Structure 1
């Protein structure tokens, strides 16, 4: 005799199907609140994007793609181009990462693998305190302390030494202004250092001790354990920390405005004055007269928004591919 289904059995015995109890009211409220918060973020992001596009339309209609490729910026004749701010933004961020990433990773390795416990905590707290210093303080320090120091010591020395090396002569040419792209990059590297070191230190501490002990048991040195065990195991977190720092560097305003020189031109020398997108907006938005001038500044904000979105999306795609390869 074939087995009877649950519904047939319940019907034959006169019993009704058991009912699944509804979710508690607390769960439904929590689901609605969290879902609403997630949607609110998307709405705010979309609203910012739409507002930037709407404000940029006069500049887009007037200059088209030439707005991105031209470095001319003349409020008197109302001729505007974003090439110099875009170049300065990308260059200062790249140099800042080039300086901060090795230093940040070195600090994290020292704190997790080499430092005694009594020393690790004070160093970690000191580094994290750097993230709490307002950017305007970094700018003032850079203008009155770092820039004069570079102008009197480092820049004359590097200009003299680089003049004998083909290729470097163009990168470190010109008079030692003190302020400029290189000075702004140094300030940015100090500002993003806490993001890199703090996040990488936390992910380094997630490495299972068993993996490191096994490597030591095979005769590996400290350097080999870090290179072959710690870094590969936490590479996704390390890349995430670097991208977080890059996003911070791309949008920094006040500190860069103080020390970059605010010159709308593309120079081959890293010691020459330049500008960034955020510095241009901060310097000129209150003085912008006319719809086209204001629209050009808003268009700069739109470009920065798009560049930051592309960088973060590329980082997320890279992490996703790394996770897929690791499965």
Structure 2
């Protein structure tokens, strides 16, 4: 009798457990579907809102540079170009620095310094973008104008091929300065993700490699990076998304010119900066 009662209780517990697992699985599936539905709704809304412009200007809107509100001739090529170039500059600067920060914190940093250093880096992400913009306009742009841009013009401006990237007068504001600002803004995101994924590498892998006589650099390149490469790529993509969508800080320092210049020292614009500058003056159905 006792064995039968125990068996019944076991079957009852198993039944409740199976029901709980099914309910949990269904609930999480619904949450995942909600995310996909929201994403599909956003895409549908963007496409629906873009149809009038595409109907009037055609696909040439994407590859046209002209931007003249008086004659109602508009093109998105200059903002697209500015968005891609500033984001590329930001990532070229931020990725190596973020990698070095994450590597130092996880592999080389003394224990007493890890927490304060990590906190200070993460605080950079809490600074509002408009503060970055004001700092960039009144501090970074004058510094770039007086020191960085003249040095680039003197050293790289005369080199055939790449000299065109550093041609023109040192204005301070421009695409290069916007890239500098973005690199500072995405740095805490990329470094935080890299640090976290580096810390997920099992200690036994590190210790075994050190026991074989490997140096710190060999451990990093042969153990840490291969193990954490998916997370590293995820952190880079997170920073790239932040750079592509940044508005206020870029608007302050990029110059807001709807023209494409080969020189990185010249003003430009981005998609988000163009929206911020133009939406208050938008009239008509478009």
Question: Structure 1's 286 and 207: CA in aligned 2 closer, same or farther, altered over 3 A?
Answer: same
State the partner residue of 2:175.
Answer: 181
Cα displacement string for residues 243-276 of structure 1 (whole angstroms, at most 9, x for unaligned residues): 1111111111111111111111111101110010
Superposition deviation, residue 161 in structure 1: 1.5
State the partner residue of 1:193.
Answer: 187
Aligned mate of 1:114, from 108, 117, 123 = 108
Alpha-carbon distance between aligned partners in 2 of 1:40 and 1:221, rounded to the nearest angstrom? 48
State the partner residue of 2:222.
Answer: 228
Cα displacement string for residues 55-97 of structure 1 (whole angstroms, at most 9, x for unaligned residues): 1111101121101111111111111111111111111111101
State the partner residue of 1:150.
Answer: 144
Alpha-carbon distance between aligned partners in 2 of 1:140 and 1:280, rounded to the nearest angstrom? 18
CA RMSD of aligned residues (A): 1.9
Aligned residues: 275
Alpha-carbon distance between aligned partners in 2 of 1:94 and 1:270, rounded to the nearest angstrom? 12
State the partner residue of 2:252.
Answer: 258
Alpha-carbon distance between aligned partners in 1 of 2:220 and 2:18, rounded to the nearest angstrom? 49
User: What TM-score, normalized to structure 1?
Assistant: 0.80
Decide whether the 8 Å contact of 2:175 with 2:268 is kept in 1: yes
User: What TM-score, normalized to structure 2?
Assistant: 0.91
Cα displacement string for residues 16-70 of structure 1 (whole angstroms, at most 9, x for unaligned residues): xx99846788667655554443333222222222221121111101121101111
Aligned mate of 1:275, from 256, 269, 280 = 269
SS at match of 1:176: coil
State the partner residue of 1:161.
Answer: 155
Superposition deviation, residue 192 in structure 1: 0.6
Superposition deviation, residue 178 in structure 1: 0.5
Alpha-carbon distance between aligned partners in 1 of 2:249 and 2:210, rounded to the nearest angstrom? 45
Unmatched runs of 5 consecutive residues or more in structure 2: 1-10
Aligned mate of 2:47, from 45, 48, 53 = 53
State the partner residue of 2:208.
Answer: 214
SS at match of 2:167: coil
Residues 1:291 and 2:276 aligned together: no
Residues 1:78 and 2:78 aligned together: no
State the partner residue of 2:165.
Answer: 171
Alpha-carbon distance between aligned partners in 1 of 2:213 and 2:20, rounded to the nearest angstrom? 55
